[in-house]
Structure 1
Amino acid sequence: MAEPFPLEPSLWFATAPAAAPTPPLAQDVSADVCVVGAGFAGLSTALHLAEAGVSVVVLESHEPGWGGSGRNGGQVIPGIKYDPSEILSKFGPVAGEALIGFVGSTADLVFDLIAKHEMDVPHRRAGWIQGAHTPAMVETVKRRAAEWQARGVDAAFLDQDAVGRLLGTDRYLAGWVDRRAGGVQPLAYARGLAKAALGAGAAIHGQSKVVSLTRSGSTWRVRTAQGATVTAPRVVVATNGYTGDLIPKLRQTVIRPNSFIVATQPLSDNVAGTILPEGQVTSDTRQLLLYFRKDHQNRLLMGGRGPFREPRDAADWAHLERVVGKMYPQAKGVPFDFRWCGRVALTRDFLPHLHEPEPGLLVDIGCMGRGVGLQSAMGKAMAGYIATGDKGRLPFPVVPITPLPLHALNELYVSAIIAWYRLTDGGMKDKAA
């Protein structure tokens, strides 16, 4: 029998272990917490709540990992957009230091969870390289590496020869490597989180789209499209790039472009050995970055931002296929087996946003393209706050829901930038002969 809401065909869907059963919610239930959304954030929240002895029910429109969590590039990168000095400037010395510690540990959490729960997740922790594509960005990555090095992180600046050797391409002027990072099969990891949460006592229900949230006194009623409800004093909403209109104005607080990925057939050993030979994952310093890696089968993946519109067509992936040939001529002509995409959620300040619009309702939104580590850690932090009532467990301040001014025009502006990048293959000019 076909799935009612099948995952979009992708490399991850083709190579992930089978999902644990998460049947639709069939009857009214009660719990201490109801989590809406079974991506990294929602599943991590449920896992850590259940481990703390809190009863939790997770409701998911499709199946765990169906959204961006099961479609991303699988890069586990610690940190956020801002360097330590910028975080201190934004948040002050006390909150800033705490936040630096939090964002610096997000990759540790992912790999620790995989090991602790013996998840069936192909993974490798060889580091992340950020390539500098302009002279100005050379200085940026040099400063970034120095700041993290000064905090004891295993990081290093890479000159042009070093970055070329580690990436296997001469397209970058310099870079830096953060050896805390790595790569995972992201859908396998999402399914591993679901299995661990179920094992800890959480209930997870797929094909259970939430259509309304209503509060009566200190109790919330969370109703699904089938009419079944969860009654709970606390609700967590973690729907990120697939946020709809469940909470007024929330969708207008983020821009939700698609992130497109192509994956080749497995590379021959002689070609694979010349591309990212030490197994790092990588992304660059472009405004609309390119990100790429090899997977556990030696396929080369290339990703980048794409248009908002539906349906999609072959042109949405064609520029990435051209980029592969330009960046790695040795892989030119290797067939592409998979093409897929998923939404990311970008906030105006490039920080995750936590909202508490009503008592007992906690909202987390904004993955910023680093959702594997960041949202896993956000789930643990939200669980800590809910279990203890200590707001200090939250790494970011709780802020009001504030829609982006002229939200529709913001999306048009981003679409125009994306269209230009598609035409220029991500701003990658052909090298002179």
Structure 2
Amino acid sequence: MAEPFPLEPSLWAATAAPAPETPPLDRSGQADVVIVGAGYCGLSTALHLAERGIRPVVLEAREVGFGGSGRNGGQVIPGLKFDPDDLVAKFGQERGARLARFAGSTADTVFGLIETHNLDVPHRRNGWIQGAHTPAGLDEVGRRAEQWARLGAPARALDKGETDRLLGTERYLGGWLDGRGGAVQPLSYARGLARAAQAAGATIHGNSPVTGLRRARDGWHVTTARGASLRAERVILCTNGYTGPLWPDLAESIIAANSFQVATAPLSDNLRRSILPEGHVSSDTRKLLLYFRLDHTGRLLLGGRGPFREPRGPADWAHLERIVGKLFPQLGAVTFDYRWCGRVAITRDFLPHLHEPEPGLFIDIGCQGRGVGLQSAMGRAIAEYVATGNAEALPVAPTPVARLPLHALHRVYVSAVIAWYRLNDGGMR
């Protein structure tokens, strides 16, 4: 696959804590479990397995957090696309309520890991605001706030006046506030998880792309591009939006869309006080949602969809820079210091997918744009399942890998849908 442009530096690469030492795998050996992918799910799984006395080895094609885990907006948002009542209607009372509880706890997992392991991660937990840009969106967020509040979450609806004040823009009709949400420096968080996993006994090898996966009588054989291989009883694939051809049909079971982001120069104190003055993070109800926050250096970050293809130059971020000016006219002629993007793994039903296509092989895929919390919590659940065999630990039941019909046409289809939404999504494009 083509590399994102420019590869470095993103805002996060420029401000992250130092990377841990993760030398390439240079000799063959054995492991209790081999984990492919050093993003949030792979690292969380490794950490929680190591804490149970299981010896995992993580193989990463590039470096810790290279993919979406180091290229996202750093918003820690609990929940899924579906609200609690939707999940109960879809899966039944017991399974639906269990999935809702899991989804509602994902932000707790992130901030709990940061505190427990004293991770060197700039973070803030003042809540997430979802702004509604249409009357239909306003009804939607009202229902969402009511459902989560009914389950005990610190959630409430916001009228237009309070939404305007807390966001620093008059572009929304209202919204809701979920006090469980927050923000992290996402690459620092990935690197912190890696250090914690190493301290617990996990081994991580960077620059060790996996090229072969074969099941034999003595277990799974995992081969890397350098020629070194590992044998293990179990293999866990955690590659999400950067999934390749390692397992049949897996890459074709998702749409790996790019999420584009821009970050301004550090804002003056006056401007900081006029935008997200209480430190919330925000995304909205648009089909092509916008998300924005201030980082720990006082820069305004805004993200959204861009071209489906890999970017070719700064012009591919120009629409986001225009949106910043429309949302926050008080910024004037602001300077943009950083532009970057990362892939999001989207499944057909907008739910995380787990697969166990053969004994000893487990697959997690489908971060759905909420990967910071979702994949951190998923790693813990996978580790419990691997360690105990308790299927109740998994938030969703494993299903067969299912290739999207006419997958090659989905890129064309999604590109057309993106263009349509831009024309009909509230006049911000």
Change (3 A) 1:355 1:149: same
Is 1:96 aligned to 2:96, yes or no?
A: yes
Q: Note the C-alpha offset of 1:305.
A: 1.3
Cα distance between partner residues in 1 of 2:426 and 2:217: 54
Q: Note the C-alpha offset of 1:7.
A: 5.8
Is 1:302 aligned to 2:299, yes or no?
A: no
TM-score by length of 2: 0.97
Cα distance between partner residues in 2 of 1:177 and 1:303: 20
One-letter amino acid of the structure 1 residue matched with residue 415 of structure 2: S
Is 1:383 aligned to 2:367, yes or no?
A: no
Q: Note the C-alpha offset of 1:358.
A: 0.8
Q: Note the C-alpha offset of 1:311.
A: 4.6
Cα distance between partner residues in 2 of 1:218 and 1:353: 28
Cα distance between partner residues in 2 of 1:362 and 1:7: 30
Confirm or deny: 8 A CA contact 2:259 2:343 kept in the other structure.
yes
Task: Report the identity percentage.
Answer: 64
Q: Note the C-alpha offset of 1:316.
A: 1.4
Cα distance between partner residues in 1 of 2:395 and 2:183: 24
2:330 counterpart residue number: 330
Q: How does 1:283-432 map to 2 (within 5 A)?
A: 283-420=283-420, 427-429=426-428
2:3 counterpart residue number: none
Cα distance between partner residues in 2 of 1:83 and 1:110: 21
Cα distance between partner residues in 1 of 2:34 and 2:149: 41
Q: Note the C-alpha offset of 1:419.
A: 3.6
Q: Give the secondary structure class of the aligned counterpart of 1:189.
A: helix
Change (3 A) 1:95 1:297: same
Deviations 1:58-108 (A, max 9, x none): 000000100000000000000101100001011111111211111111000
Confirm or deny: 8 A CA contact 1:157 1:177 kept in the other structure.
yes
Q: Give the secondary structure class of the aligned counterpart of 2:279.
A: coil
Q: Give the secondary structure class of the aligned counterpart of 1:259.
A: strand
Q: Note the C-alpha offset of 1:315.
A: 2.2
Unaligned runs of 5+ in 1: 1-5
Cα distance between partner residues in 1 of 2:340 and 2:137: 30
1:281 counterpart residue number: 281
Q: Give the secondary structure class of the aligned counterpart of 1:277.
A: coil
Deviations 1:120-152 (A, max 9, x none): 100000000001111111111001000111111
One-letter amino acid of the structure 1 residue matched with residue 248 of structure 2: P
Q: Note the C-alpha offset of 1:331.
A: 1.1
Q: Give the secondary structure class of the aligned counterpart of 1:380.
A: helix
Is 1:60 aligned to 2:69, yes or no?
A: no
Deviations 1:395-427 (A, max 9, x none): 1110011111111222211112334556x5964
Cα distance between partner residues in 2 of 1:13 and 1:104: 29
Cα distance between partner residues in 2 of 1:73 and 1:312: 21
One-letter amino acid of the structure 2 residue matched with residue 222 of structure 1: V
Cα distance between partner residues in 1 of 2:213 and 2:332: 51
Cα distance between partner residues in 1 of 2:302 and 2:421: 15
Deviations 1:14-61 (A, max 9, x none): 000111100000101111100000000000000000000001000000
The ranges of structure 1 where at least 4 consecutive aligned residues each deviate by more than 3 angstroms after the TM superposition are 419-422, 424-427
Confirm or deny: 8 A CA contact 2:287 2:425 kept in the other structure.
no
Change (3 A) 1:310 1:143: closer
Q: Note the C-alpha offset of 1:368.
A: 0.4
Q: How does 1:178-189 map to 2 (within 5 A)?
A: 178-189=178-189
One-letter amino acid of the structure 2 residue matched with residue 243 of structure 1: T
Change (3 A) 1:287 1:41: same
One-letter amino acid of the structure 1 residue matched with residue 413 of structure 2: Y
Q: How does 1:75-224 map to 2 (within 5 A)?
A: 75-217=75-217, 219-224=219-224
Is 1:270 aligned to 2:293, yes or no?
A: no
Cα distance between partner residues in 1 of 2:300 and 2:142: 27
Change (3 A) 1:176 1:228: same
How large is the Cα RMSD of the aligned pairs? 1.4
Confirm or deny: 8 A CA contact 2:287 2:421 kept in the other structure.
no
One-letter amino acid of the structure 1 residue matched with residue 201 of structure 2: G
TM-score by length of 1: 0.96
Cα distance between partner residues in 2 of 1:179 and 1:82: 18
Cα distance between partner residues in 2 of 1:427 and 1:418: 13
Q: Give the secondary structure class of the aligned counterpart of 2:339.
A: strand
Cα distance between partner residues in 2 of 1:45 and 1:246: 20
Confirm or deny: 8 A CA contact 1:24 1:207 kept in the other structure.
yes
1:47 counterpart residue number: 47
User: 209-218 or 308-317, which moves further after superposition?
Assistant: 308-317
Cα distance between partner residues in 1 of 2:77 and 2:285: 14
Deviations 1:347-376 (A, max 9, x none): 000000001111100000000000000000
Unaligned runs of 5+ in 2: 1-5
1:3 counterpart residue number: none
Deviations 1:238-262 (A, max 9, x none): 0000000000100111011110000
Q: Give the secondary structure class of the aligned counterpart of 2:401.
A: coil
Change (3 A) 1:378 1:429: closer
Confirm or deny: 8 A CA contact 2:323 2:428 kept in the other structure.
no
